[in-house]
Amino acid sequence: MDLKRNRPEGPYAHLPEVPAFQVTSDDITDGDVLDMAHVHGSAGGQDQSPQLSWSGFPEQTRSFAVTCFDPDAPTHSGWWHWIAVNIPADVTSLPRGAGAADGSGMPDGVVQLRTDYGSFGYGGAAPPPGDHDHRYFFAVHALDVDTLDLTPDTPAAIAGFNLTAHTIARGVLVATFAH
């Protein structure tokens, strides 16, 4: 499989280089502004995770993880909006709203970790009012293990460390939002 190398500007630029694969969405377009459906309720949105589909990942993929990260948050560590791990290798899409806090939209066995909001599941975009456009990196990570031994309360930094250690390819869509 001849995949282009995945080293986008942003949160993955300093990590080991891995091949890229395609991530598409019925709800978001790479480089465009997020629809209010995917914005946090505190910013007037509906707080629904977007539909995502992926293809072209390596044959040796054993599971997937899906994340959404804002590197532009006014913190030293960015802002985690979504971390879902242990998605089976035969799952190649998630419907809109799959990131519900109760896990009802996810396949069996998927673990959704606590976001930087302190809640589980997807937490939509909500940059400070009047701040610049923030970038939201929706990433699908192809992993070399069936499961990651993470619990819902595993800190995001530990999850990121495990993802980096086991990612064999990654697909990314970047959307923006400001209010």
Domain ranges of the chain: 5-177
Task: Provide the pLDDT confidence category of residue 1 given band limits of 50, 70 and 90.
Answer: very low
How do beta strands 134-143 and 167-177 pair?
A: antiparallel
Cα angle for residues 33, 36, 38 (degrees, 5° grid): 85
Residue 151 pLDDT more than 70? Answer: yes
State the pTM of this model.
0.94
User: If we measure between CA atoms, which residue out of 120, 94, 116 comes closest to residue 106?
Assistant: 94
pLDDT of residue 3: 42
Residues 84-107 have pLDDT tens digits of 999 999 999 999 999 999 999 999
**CATH 3.40.50.300 is held by the domain 5-177:** no
CA nearest to 139, candidates 84, 76, 97, 178: 84
Portion of the chain with pLDDT greater than 90, in percent: 92
Instruction: In whole angstroms, give the CA distance from residue 3 to residue 20.
Output: 6
- Give yes or no for residue 115 having a pLDDT over 80: yes
Q: How confident is the model at residue 6 (pLDDT cuts 50, 70, 90)?
A: very low
Burial class for 44, CB neighbours closer than 10 Å (0-12, 13-18, 19+): exposed
Pairing verdict, β 22-24 and 52-55: antiparallel
